[in-house]
Amino acid sequence: MKIPAWLERSELGRSIWSFRREFVWVGVFSFFSNLLLLAPTLYMLQVFDRVMLSQNEFTLISLTLIATLLFAVMGFAEWVRSRLLVRAGVRFDEYLNSRVFKSSFDANLNLLTSNPVQSFSDLTNLRQFLTGNGIFALFDSPWTPIYIAVLFMMHPWLGVVALLFTAMLGFLAWYSHKLTAAGSVQASEAVVKSNSYLQGKLAHVETVVSLGMLASLRRHWLALYSDQLDKTLQAQHLQHQVQAFVKFVQYSQQSLVLGLGALLAIQGEISVGAMVASNALVSNALRPLGTLVSTWRQFADAQASYLRLEKLMKAHPDRGAVHVADVVHGRITLHDVVASAPGRERPILKGLNVNFNAGEVVAIVGPSGAGKSTLARCIIGIWPDVKGQVLLDGHDINQWSRDDLGPHLGYLPQDIELFEGTIAENIGRFGDLNAEWVIDAAQRTGIHDMILRFPKGYDTPMGVAGGTLSGGQRQRVGLARAIYGNPSLVVLDEPNANLDDVGEAALIRTVQDLRQRGKTVFMVVHQRNLLSVADRVLVLTEGVVSQFGQLAGQAPAVTTSSEPSA
């Protein structure tokens, strides 16, 4: 079976199409389930038109046993198709969660999303829709014309009334979408905006509380929350109006069809059994449409989630392992590197062309805003908006397999990012821990004795973002993580920002040790004493290289102010 063109254009669409076999089987069991829904109609016809006249108890027992068997088969078909969809939904989630996980990190790295967990909510919404009542209604809807055809066979007026109610519910499904779709999207966007604002402030709770900013920020949040609440209430109000009218139509349908059947039975045009059976048939015919109307909000949410996930995966395709090497030497070459950022008219880095030898220590200096931290991130390939080429051992850094390259890289950012877990797990990058490597990294950075003084040693919990440690301790643990596994390329962005004299001396010893081992080291520094361990110094001024060479005599002038994260 060939994949439809509209699905072929989308990676997410191709993923859903890969589960077509499961959907075909769901359709097969839906066929039997809906076919057996005719059993109650036939049972009523036989009971009222044959058993009640013949007064034959054996016939009644036989009909009841046959009907019970058919109901059991129908229940089994319902159970199987539900189980098939649930298992398909779990496999769909497992099939895509790693892909969405990577794309979400890429989007957050590229500053393209204010809510990094939205994509996982979208994946959950899509999975729940594919395993919920809405998808069953889509499989059951084709049976509506069949039920209506049976009603026409029983009496034309019964079929006409069923057609009228079907058209009415179909119109309600379309009108409810038109009426509530825009409001639902606006409400969802308002919820995301409000939650993102709150999460951003909770991440900096110490600053907010200590500076007395809580009341002011609360006013800003309340404005966003009130807007979210208003839009959500408006969307729900419209949805409840539609649902109330749908219930009116469904209740009216039951009484009106029964009344019409009674009238036709009085006039002798149908039997009493047909009168009762017609009501059940109309209910079966309209049931999928009623479900579609009641689950239209879920369908709209699933559609919005699908479009967001499709956009995310299209913007951040899976690159795969383009270039893999067992050995990384650490030779860096910049070819016409231009780095920009959203909201800036002028680029941060302006056409850099520099060669860095493998195994040398390079200090990057310059005034605040010169682009030092941006250059550090470009070197390891994590700055999003870069033109030109950053070559590692002659290969574009963006063409390397990040999973394979990661162990060969060490990075210490300005803002130390430690994670909830033990000290050992943080140093070992949360991989398969090698105890010897963890201890080696700690000893080389001078924190082994400090760690042993903790009650649980290397198993000491860090708390959220390493909150149980001081700023200097977090910095030194981050440095140990950077050199874990003896990486070939190490980038240190202001590595002594939170260190005391003892910590700075340990840092200098660590850099000297890396040089002796032949590792390539880049340091963004502001203090002169760290320049003594550098082989060459690169001075950035307004995004261009103003000086680059070996340190001779007096060190280049550097500022002592800290550059904010670019």
Say if CB 444 and CB 484 are below 8 A apart.
Answer: no
Kindly report, residue by residue over 404-440, the tens digit of the pLDDT: 888 899 999 888 878 888 899 999 988 888 899 999 9
Number of domains into which the chain is organized: 3
- The whole-number average pLDDT for the span 222-241 is 76
Q: How many angstroms from the chain centroid is the CA of residue 284? A: 38
CA distances from 123 to 36, 294, 302 (A): 34, 22, 9
Give residue 350's region: left, alpha or beta (phi > 0; psi -120 to 50): beta
Instruction: For residues 155 and 59, state if they share a domain.
Output: no
* Spatial CB neighbours of 158, under 8 Å, sequence gap ≥ 6: 151, 152, 257, 260, 261, 264, 270, 278, 281, 282
d(CA 18, CA 515) in angstroms, rounded, equals 52
- 19 burial (CB, 10 Å; 0-12 / 13-18 / 19+) is middle
Kindly report, residue by residue over 2-26, the tens digit of the pLDDT: 565 555 567 777 777 777 788 888 8
CATH of the domain at 401: 3.40.50.300
Say if CB 309 and CB 122 are below 8 A apart.
Answer: yes
Instruction: For residues 80 and 49, state if they share a domain.
Output: yes
In a domain, 564, yes or no: no
Last residue of a domain, one of 87, 110, 132: 132
In a domain, 137, yes or no: no
Kindly report, residue by residue over 233-251, the tens digit of the pLDDT: 777 777 777 777 777 877 7
DSSP string, 62-88: HHHHHHHHHHHHHHHHHHHHHHHHHHH
Structure confidence at residue 538 (pLDDT): 92
- 564 burial (CB, 10 Å; 0-12 / 13-18 / 19+) is exposed
Instruction: For residues 285 and 339, state if they share a domain.
Output: no
**What is the band of 110 on the pLDDT scale with cuts at 50, 70, 90?**
low
This prediction has a pTM of 0.65
Handedness of CA 422, 426, 431, 435 (dihedral sign): negative
d(CA 129, CA 137) in angstroms, rounded, equals 11
Whole-number mean pLDDT of the chain?
81
In a domain, 58, yes or no: yes
Lowest mean pLDDT among 171-175, 259-263, 554-558: 554-558
- The whole-number average pLDDT for the span 217-246 is 76
d(CA 47, CA 40) in angstroms, rounded, equals 10
- The domain containing residue 497 runs over which residues? 332-550
Kindly report, residue by residue over 466-520, the tens digit of the pLDDT: 567 788 888 889 999 999 999 999 999 988 887 888 888 889 999 999 999 999 9
Instruction: For residues 354 and 482, state if they share a domain.
Output: yes
- The whole-number average pLDDT for the span 53-58 is 83
Instruction: For residues 124 and 162, state if they share a domain.
Output: no
Phi, psi of 448 (to 5 degrees): -60, -50
CATH of the domain at 258: 1.20.1560.10
Helix (H, G, I), strand (E, B) or coil at 547: strand
Instruction: For residues 382 and 516, state if they share a domain.
Output: yes
Last residue of a domain, one of 132, 155, 184: 132
Instruction: For residues 172 and 213, state if they share a domain.
Output: yes
Instruction: For residues 483 and 395, state if they share a domain.
Output: yes
More confident of the two residues 316 and 44: 44
Selection from 462, 444, 442, 463 nearest residue 452 by Cα? 442
Say if CB 34 and CB 140 are below 8 A apart.
Answer: yes
Selection from 145, 140, 168, 147 nearest residue 279 by Cα? 147
Instruction: For residues 122 and 153, state if they share a domain.
Output: no
In a domain, 385, yes or no: yes
Structure confidence at residue 108 (pLDDT): 67
Instruction: For residues 478 and 388, state if they share a domain.
Output: yes
Structure confidence at residue 563 (pLDDT): 36
**What is the band of 69 on the pLDDT scale with cuts at 50, 70, 90?**
very high
Last residue of a domain, one of 243, 269, 294: 294
In a domain, 149, yes or no: yes
More confident of the two residues 443 and 279: 443
In a domain, 7, yes or no: yes
Percent above pLDDT 90 for the chain? 17
Say if CB 506 and CB 312 are below 8 A apart.
Answer: no
d(CA 295, CA 315) in angstroms, rounded, equals 30
Q: Is the pLDDT of residue 220 over 60?
A: yes
Instruction: For residues 176 and 126, state if they share a domain.
Output: no
In a domain, 173, yes or no: yes
In a domain, 237, yes or no: yes
Instruction: For residues 391 and 504, state if they share a domain.
Output: yes
